[in-house]
Structure 1
Amino acid sequence: MTLSAFLAIYFVHLAAAISPGPAVLMAAHTSLREGMARGVWLSVGIGLGACLWACAALFGLAVLFRIAPALLTALKFAGAAYLLYLAVKMWRHAPEPFDAEVTETASARSNLGLVWLGIATQLANPKPAVFFGTIFLTFVPPQAPLWAYAAILGIIFVNDAGWNVLVSRIFSLDRTRRGYLRLKTAIERGFGGLLALLGLKLALT
């Protein structure tokens, strides 16, 4: 593979990683409530989830979705249901006192639990498998060496995890968190509403 092909994959995927979606929303939400370090663990999971979809595309899942679109539809509805579940949790817990809510959440969910949450949030949307399949068909030659695939997975992880670490940093700043504390209920319900809309969009498109 050529350097230009790697750069094309990097920038095309970076644009997709930056676009607002459930993963970015969860990174912002987690870092606002629990701080940057917890947001970083979530971001690692988001990056790993993206790599899992990329591996699925490498093994032909994108082709399978084209042959059996009912499978993609079923996965989309399952993912939408998961996102709606998260949205309802955010909405219901919005009025709770901040300190008590964060203490309860932190004690119930370890750093590894945050990684799994990031993976699950990414896997809730099966469309990346189709996206990665298109990228591989466009930029990766059929006889590409194994190291090239490893490098591509590295690019995908760095893009997804790195962008969400940056999101976590922005939303963990003192000024941002002070604004959040003043408007906690409205912001939490805003996050929940956006996540619900993303779930409905996933199910209907």
Structure 2
Amino acid sequence: MLNITLEQLSLFAATLAMAILSPGPAIIAVSQSAFAMGRRRALPYGWGLATGASLWCLTALLGLTVIFRILPWTFMAMKVLGGLYLIWIAIRMWRGARDPLPDPAEAQMGMTFWGGIALNLSNPKPALFYSAVLLSIFPTTLSFADKGLIYTTALSLEMGFYTAMACLMALPLLRRRYYAAKFWIDVIAACAIGMLGLSLILRQ
């Protein structure tokens, strides 16, 4: 039995859509993947990113954020580990900036479905975002069906966004421009992801 209304679900979807559109390491990563490897290789990576992002919604629904509140050190530990993971990705991207273009048949730098999940699980802040949004929009008591519908909505939005990004950034015109400026695009992407990882560790 559903306890949530269509209006509440629509508000949740609109809020999540606005949050997804804000720049972050996942957007940079899926764009770089599509530029370098094309749509066929970027799509599974994008789907992994979407799945990883949606899993934070699931953890919020299941009460992981309660643990963060009771044991703040667990959140800090996840932030540090996640930040270090992003910095590691940035270093690999920086080192590969002068490498020749990758073979589209080969995945690089963890640009696989599981690599996408790992990247979006490296930042625990979405769990707090989802928790805050869920608490502010929906009733405190949610049935199993409510939680299933909320998670399905989140997963569908994340999948739709990352699929669109992977397809858009793999368009021939954009890929040709990437080929012409691969070194600088990779360096800028590495710096952006590295700074995001560092800010994740340092920001309170």
TM-score by length of 1: 0.91
Cα distance between partner residues in 1 of 2:83 and 2:187: 18
Greater Cα offset, 68-77 or 159-168: 159-168
Shift of 1:89: 0.4
Equivalent residue number for residue 107 of structure 1: 106
The structure 2 residue matched to 1:87, chosen from 86, 90, 93, is 90
1:61-140 to 2 correspondences below 5 Å: 61-98=64-101, 102-103=102-103, 106-107=105-106, 114-140=112-138
Which amino acid is 1:52 matched to?
L
| 3-state DSSP of counterpart to 1:107 | coil
Structure 1 equivalent of residue 50 of structure 2: 47
Deviation at 1:53, TM superposition (A): 1.1
Aligned partners of 1:171 and 1:177 also within 8 Å: yes
**Partners of 1:3 and 1:108 in 2: CA distance:** 41
Separation in 2 of the partners of 1:7 and 1:108? 37
Q: Report the Cα offset of residue 168 of structure 1.
A: 1.3
Q: TM-score, normalised by structure 2?
A: 0.92
> Once structures 1 and 2 are overlaid, which stretch shifts more, 35-44 or 1-10?
35-44
- Aligned equivalents of 1:160, 1:35: Cα separation in 2: 20
Structure 1, unpaired ranges of 5+: none
Supply the distance in 1 between the matched residues of 2:184 and 2:195 (Cα, whole angstroms): 16
Relative to its length, the structure with more helix (as a share) is: 1
- Amino acid corresponding to residue 96 of structure 1 in structure 2: D
Residue 168 of structure 1 corresponds to 166
The letter of the residue matching 2:57 is: A
Assess if the C-alpha contact under 8 Å between 2:54 and 2:158 holds in 1. no
Percent same amino acid among aligned pairs?
32
In 1, the alpha carbon distance for the partners of 2:66 and 2:97 equals 41
User: Letter of the aligned partner of 1:133 in structure 2?
Assistant: S
Of residues 161-170 and 116-125 in structure 1, the stretch that sits farther from structure 2 once superposed is 161-170
Task: Tell me the amino acid that sits aligned with residue 34 of structure 2.
Answer: S
1:34 aligns with 2:29: no
Q: Contact 1:29–1:191 (CA<8 Å) still a contact in 2?
A: yes
Moved over 2 A (4+): 105-109, 142-145
Aligned residue pairs total: 199
CA RMSD in angstroms, aligned pairs only? 1.7
Alignment match, 1:181? 179
Give the letter for the 2:87 counterpart: L
Q: Distance in 2 between matches of 1:106 and 1:189?
A: 23
Are the equivalent residues in 2 in contact too, given 1:22–1:198 (CA < 8 A)? yes
Amino acid at match of 2:60: A
**1:23-64 C-alpha deviation (Å, 9 max, x unpaired):** 111110111111112221112111211222112112221122
* Structure 1 counterpart SS, 2:15: helix
In structure 2, stretches of 5+ residues that fail to align are none
Q: Distance in 1 between matches of 2:89 and 2:35?
A: 16
